[in-house]
């Protein structure tokens, strides 16, 4: 673990500096941009061949508009395995030191960065400098300062920056959003988001502040942060937060175990959320309005997402989230479409600003204003 940590830290430092519908269709929530050939496919290289990178790769096998064509990894054996399994040519395989050479590879359109949080910022800058579109896992960076630099770098390079918000394309989630917009819940009053699980291996990078940037908040807590925003349909204007730590050996200084946080929104709407690495049986969203409610559990897992509203069950068919995500992101990048709930760098930056403010509220013990401007 120590050698891996040193290697990753070295990489970081060396980087280039409406009416309700009976059946929900995610395609209906996209606005068509310029006319393009419908057989256009987004050619993607995955950076980071761990467990989630594998999940994305498998899901892409069923994608109609995105194709896995390249890999970037610091582990040669993984590259060899993926080459064979996914029929990836050697010329599309890179390591963390030489992947800047993708600039000269016309076979790759975009790079999906699925590495530890601390690497997102430097790797995004390098991919953008190489002229390739960036898809980055969440959280987009360690803090808002890094996020702003990533957004600016991609704009300067003329490439797209998207964030892996797979729930923004999930059918039951989008149905609740459409119901809220259509007024089915009346005036929204309250949201509850519970995000957490019992984390295992104490030596993993998610419990290393230098690699993760924090603890549960930077991993699972972001789902309640982001979920509060898209479920309520407004941006929070203040936050209070309290941290609880029961195991200071496993959760060292700067690595949060459990944070309870409360948002205030315009019009008196409030939210109560939990981010934790020490409790299971959570993953629950609850939205309450003057005329109805929506309840989802599980609300952000890999699926199927289950839930109900005051009108009945949410029963849209489950499709692998990452398959839908990659198809829709291909449409955004290649066809100029836009998502109902944004997945761009600006959206990722808002979550980072909010998380920064949550940590500030934990430290101050005060109600802290959230400035997304």
**Residues marked as catalytic:** 138, 223
Sequence-ordered strand ranges (E) for the chain? 42-47, 66-72, 93-94, 110-113, 133-136, 161-163, 188-196, 238-244, 258-264, 270-276, 284-289, 293-296, 307-309, 312-314, 368-369
Max distance between CA atoms of the chain, in angstroms, equals 59
Cα–Cα nearest to 227, from 277, 268, 177, 162? 177
Cα–Cα nearest to 134, from 121, 116, 148, 117? 121
Cα–Cα nearest to 261, from 233, 276, 241, 282? 241
* Backbone region of residue 301 per phi and psi (left: phi > 0; alpha: psi in -120 to 50; beta: other values): beta
Cα angle 27-29-30, degrees, rounded to a multiple of 5 = 75
């Amino acid at each position: 673990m120590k050698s891996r940590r040193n290697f990753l830290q070295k990489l970081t430092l060396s980087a280039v500096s409406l009416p309700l519908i009976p059946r929900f269709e995610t395609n209906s929530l996209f606005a068509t941009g310029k006319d393009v050939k419908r057989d256009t496919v987004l050619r993607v290289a995955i950076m980071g061949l761990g467990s989630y990178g594998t999940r994305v790769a498998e899901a892409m096998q069923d994608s109609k508009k995105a194709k896995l064509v390249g890999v970037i990894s610091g582990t040669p054996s993984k590259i060899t395995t993926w080459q064979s399994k996914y029929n990836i040519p050697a010329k599309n395989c890179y390591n963390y030191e030489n992947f800047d050479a993708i600039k000269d590879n016309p076979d790759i359109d975009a790079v999906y960065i699925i590495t530890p949080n601390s690497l997102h910022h430097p790797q995004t800058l390098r991919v953008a400098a190489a002229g390739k579109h960036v898809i980055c896992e969440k959280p987009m960076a360690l803090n808002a300062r890094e996020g702003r630099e990533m957004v600016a770098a991609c704009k300067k390079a003329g490439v797209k920056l998207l964030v892996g918000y797979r729930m923004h394309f999930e059918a039951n989630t989008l149905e609740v959003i459409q119901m809220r917009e259509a007024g089915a819940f009346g005036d929204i009053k309250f949201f509850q988001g519970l995000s957490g699980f019992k984390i295992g291996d104490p030596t993993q990078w998610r419990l290393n502040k230098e690699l993760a940037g924090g603890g549960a908040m930077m991993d699972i807590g972001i789902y309640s942060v982001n979920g509060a925003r898209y479920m309520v349909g407004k941006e929070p204007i203040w936050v209070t937060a309290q941290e609880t730590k029961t195991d200071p050996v496993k959760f060292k200084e700067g690595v949060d175990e459990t944070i309870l946080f409360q948002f205030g929104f315009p019009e008196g709407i409030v939210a109560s959320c939990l981010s934790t690495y020490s409790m299971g049986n959570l993953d629950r969203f609850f939205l309450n309005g003057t005329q109805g409610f929506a309840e989802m559990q599980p609300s952000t897992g890999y699926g199927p997402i289950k839930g109900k509203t005051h009108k009945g069950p949410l029963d849209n068919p489950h499709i692998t989230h990452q398959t839908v995500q990659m198809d829709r992101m291909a449409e955004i990048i290649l066809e100029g479409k836009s998502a109902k709930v944004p997945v761009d760098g600006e959206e990722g930056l808002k979550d980072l600003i909010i998380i920064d403010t949550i940590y500030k509220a934990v430290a101050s013990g005060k109600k802290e204003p959230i400035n997304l401007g």
